[in-house]
A and B are shown apart, each in its own frame.
Chain A
Amino acid sequence: MTKEMEAEFSQNEIKTFAKPVRFVKEASLDGAEIHSITGYLKEKKEMDLIVAGVDIGSTMTKIVLMNTNIITSVIGPTGAEHRQLANKVMEQALVQAGLSFEDVAYVLATGYGRINVPFADRQVTEITCHARGIQSLFPTARTIIEIGGQDSKAIKLEGGKVLNFAMNDQCAAGTGRFLEVIADALELSLSEMSQISRKAKKKEEISNICTVFAEQEIISRLSEGVVVEDIVAGLFAAISRQVFKLAERLKIEKDVVITGGGAKSTGLIKAFEDKLGFTPLVPEEPLLTGAMGAAILGREQVLKSLEKGKLIRRREQRLEKVTFYE
């Protein structure tokens, strides 16, 4: 869903702004420079603590900077070819917030590209991060469905914690990628697809889960004279069925929240609503819940450590290109 998202390159309003505090440098044990954030918090307030959540997806990098509130958030391309643009998105976020990298006390990375992030202090899976992000937005959520670019996930929450989760297998069916391939085949944008699907008289059955097969199937339906709106409605039904199956494995319980890039498609949300029999909750900016969760988790960890009087040690993090492990 690159084109559309790039166009939407989010310019969220800056809600709060806090003057950052510089780190206190400490001598390191093994020669490398280590920062400690303990020092400044002794004097300054909690709200000065700035944490970044970085969600590096297969196509988009999402960043949330926060203290007690969200300072700013940015969505930018991961870099389709070399996937080396994540650091640029970080730079953009910092510019937007009027901060320098040193102002950020802690960076927590998540998402598909979370592993080798030179500017991150720690990495946590997108499952835990989405769960935390959603939980802060919708405290009543029990089931989360995340439709990402490369895979879809279902997460079950209990007492705010991840109880169980399921992910689709190595296949693009029921993912953003699937939607994108089909949108290309139909020469429609994603929002056009949602609009068109509202006009459907019936849902054309799309049975193939294989992206390649489904594309063929759709083209041959079109040549048989089936109208586009029925095909698109059938397609949304097929994707929701595929993802619903994952969630059903964990036993769906209310409230259900749908997030991830796929949740931006109102047509798909409608298809889920039909399948569920009730209205699912959708965050205002579904792309950001992972990054937001990452920021919250990072902040919580820093605060918890400080409470215990533990020293949080940071290695010298560098705002450099992300290398993927695959």
Chain B
Amino acid sequence: METKIRPLKMTEKLMGFVGKYWQDLWENHRAGKLVAWCSGVSPHEILKGFGISSVYLEGYGGFCSVAGISTDLCNRAEALGYSPDLCSLIRNFIGATRGTPAPGPEMLPFGGLPKPDLLVCMPYCPGIYKIWERYSRYLGVPLVVIERPRLHDALGKEEINRIMRDTISELQEMITFLEAFTGRRFDYDRLSQSIAYEQEASKLWWDVVGMCRNIPAPMSILDAFSHLFPFHCYRGEPEAVTYYRELKSELDERVANNIGSTIGLEKYRLYWDNLPIFFRIPEHIQKFASYGAVPVAATFPFYFGFPELDPERPLESFAKYSLFTPANVGLQARIDFTTKVVGDYSIDGLVMQRSRTCLVVNMGQDDILKELTKKTGLPSVVIEGDVCDSRFYSDSEVNSKIDTFMEILARQGQRKGQGDDCGL
């Protein structure tokens, strides 16, 4: 297939940034510094206040998926008796860390995960709390758990305030525990500094994602999924700020010169729902590009980063970050947020990915689609996939669905992208 993609220069730098992080992590571990495995939205910034290196495990699952080894790792978890219905990110992680037969460091990205001294869990999904308790016992290291109650649509202000207070007090307890665990006094200034970096990176990240509102969009939102990796690695670190500043300046330049992510006109602008299918990102960009279509918007990038973080009130603003992200709210709030995103990005069609093993995003997706269709009248396609496990994905099926969908879009006439018959 003829290449129609205009690659970003930052994509070349991406692996350098990410590779450096892992190299440092392994060096820290070898030098006897503490390493923590973190799941979900765990407060990495507090760990920084103790000089503890942190790994974001779900992000590591994403790497494995991009590297094409997730399915193999999932198989190794299943050989221990874990059901293939379980979250593929978690199976990926189990396969990588204690799968049978044990994967050698040469097959794992960045040589695998250094053995942790501590586990921290503030999960996306309550189903995985228990796994952490098991891991804590298995590895013989302590576990810090922070509850993350869902902010249901019907919760009153009083109840939400109560949850906020409880979360803050849990974060404080974590600090007290870590002081005893490390024998060090907590460095509040370091926390504030870390939150400040995180805030700066968040602002830049949200700006970057927001630039896709431009017609043509300077990058595909599927590309943005890959550019999330530095965010996962350098939580609350200056490197993330540097990275997103550079990415933003490249996109600024494209926007100023009206350069899109594809060579040729950006005819159709698409919304992508749910998680990326990490092991097929370039293929999907290419497939859409062959029709002059670009996925430009998604809600998933907004699960990461929180511009309202406040170095003056680090714990409080972090608690807000962890609780108020679109991944932790009720159905009505998700519908409202998705409708807003679709409205903001001049969308022509909706691509709804159903990630087979991700309950937290799948449940309610049908209602979100129904509301979007009602409010916008946009055509849509549902494709079956999974974030990591390629066994739940079929190229031929997805490609033929995309083909059909693009035919529908072409027949609609009206579109918001570039070209003769658009309303510009």
Contact = CB atoms under 8 A, between A and B. Distances in A.
B70 to A, nearest CB: 10
B24 interface: no
Contact of A210 (B75, B391, B396): B391
A207 interface: yes
B141 to A, nearest CB: 26
B376 interface: no
Interface stretch (B38-46, B76-84, B223-231, B336-344): B76-84
B72 to A, nearest CB: 9
B391 A216 contact: no
Contacts of A208: 390-391, 393-394
B207 interface: no
Contact-residue size bin, chain A (C-beta under 8 Å from the other chain): 10 to 19
Interface string B386-401: 0000110111110000
Interface stretch (A22-30, A59-67, A91-99, A241-249): A241-249
Interface in A184-215: 207-210, 213
Given A208-B391, A245-B78, A249-B79, A217 B100 contact: no
Contact of A213 (B78, B81, B394): B394
Contact of B396 (A219, A241, A246): A219
A220 interface: yes
B391 A220 contact: no
Given A213-B394, A216-B397, A217-B394, A207 B71 contact: yes
Contact of B100 (A210, A216, A219, A248): A248
A249 B391 contact: no
Contacts, number: 35
Contacts of A245: 75, 78-79
B101 interface: yes
Contacts of A220: 395-396
Chain A interface, DSSP helix/strand/loop, else mixed: helix
A228 B100 CA distance: 31
A216 B394 CA distance: 8
Contacts of A217: 394-396
A241 B394 CA distance: 19
Given A207-B71, A207-B391, A249 B81 contact: yes
B301 to A, nearest CB: 27
Interface string A217-246: 101100000000000000000000100111
A281 to B, nearest CB: 21
Contacts of A248: 79-80, 100-101
Contacts of B394: 208, 213, 216-217
Contact-residue size bin, chain B (C-beta under 8 Å from the other chain): 10 to 19
Nearest to B100: A248
A244 B75 CA distance: 10
A207 B390 contact: yes
B399 to A, nearest CB: 8
Contacts of B100: 248
Interface string B87-108: 0000000000000110000000
Contacts of A210: 391
Given A207-B390, A241-B75, A249 B80 contact: yes
Nearest to B395: A220
Q: Report which residue of B75, B79, B101 has the largest number of chain A beta carbons within 10 angstroms of its beta carbon.
A: B79
A277 to B, nearest CB: 10
A209 B100 CA distance: 19
A244 B393 CA distance: 22
A210 B391 CA distance: 7
Q: Report which residue of A208, A244, A245, A249 has the largest number of chain B beta carbons within 10 angstroms of its beta carbon.
A: A245
Contacts of A241: 75
Q: Report which residue of A244, A246, A248 has the largest number of chain B beta carbons within 10 angstroms of its beta carbon.
A: A248
Contacts of A219: 396
A163 to B, nearest CB: 16
A244 B79 CA distance: 8
Contacts of B397: 213, 216
Nearest to A220: B396
Interface string B373-414: 000000000000000001101111100000000000000000
A306 B71 CA distance: 55
Contacts of B80: 248-249
Contacts of A249: 79-81
Given A208-B394, A216-B397, 10 more contacts: A208-B390, A210-B391, A213-B391, A213-B397, A216-B394, A245-B79, A246-B79, A248-B79, A248-B100, A249-B79
Interface of A: 207-210, 213, 216-217, 219-220, 241, 244-246, 248-249
Pick the 6 closest A-B CB pairs, nearest first: A248-B79, A207-B390, A245-B79, A220-B396, A213-B394, A216-B396
11 contacts: A208-B390, A208-B393, A213-B397, A216-B394, A217-B394, A219-B396, A220-B396, A245-B79, A246-B79, A248-B100, A249-B80
